[in-house]
Amino acid sequence: MASVIATPSTHRPAPPAPEPAARAMTSSPPDEAAARRSLRGQIAKLERELAEAAARTTPEDRIEWSTVTPGLAGPRLLGLGELERLRDDLAERLHEVRVVHADRAAREAVKRDQLAALLRDPARHRFVRITRRDVGEPGCGAWESRPRLGLIGMLAGWWHVKISSGCPLSGAQRP
């Protein structure tokens, strides 16, 4: 068996790993391709959300849907600054659409409360008319507080809610 003789080591220990903050300063600048991928992903998400919001929009919302962003006309590869401006523009438009939708939802909630009060006590809400569109429902129907038996019912305090049957036929379809 061979004996192991201790000899002085010429092997030096490895220097300690740099701290994370030091590593960040010595690393290369951010990868432009990764930044582009990230921005394109954010833009795609915002466009998808804006399209979903457009599907819930009604003509009464009066939202301006511009398709051309100034300075970005024509096909070309957008720089990082242009991608960031496009992302910020889409985020701003989406915020505006969400504000319009929230306002409409608040108006519809008020009208639904008015409708509930109208149905509970038609005499206190004389000649009030609430349409289906006012409460966010599709169609042309309406609820209206009317006196029973016309003038006699109005004088006697006999009120009821009349529900319209919906959209009238157009003039071309009538016989």
Report pLDDT for 20: 53
Neighbours of 131 (CB within 10 A): 16
Beta bridge partners of residue 160, listed in sequence order = 146
Which pTM was predicted?
Answer: 0.63
Tokens of residue 169, six digits: 């036929």
Low-confidence ranges of the chain (pLDDT < 70): 1-30, 65-74, 169-175
Sign of the torsion angle spanned by Cα atoms 81, 83, 84, 90 = positive
Q: Rounded to an integer, what distance in angstroms lies between the CA atom of residue 20 and that of residue 40?
A: 29
| Residue 65 · residue 47 · CB < 8 Å | no
Give CA separation, 152 vs 31, 126, 127, 145, 157, in Å.
82, 15, 15, 15, 8
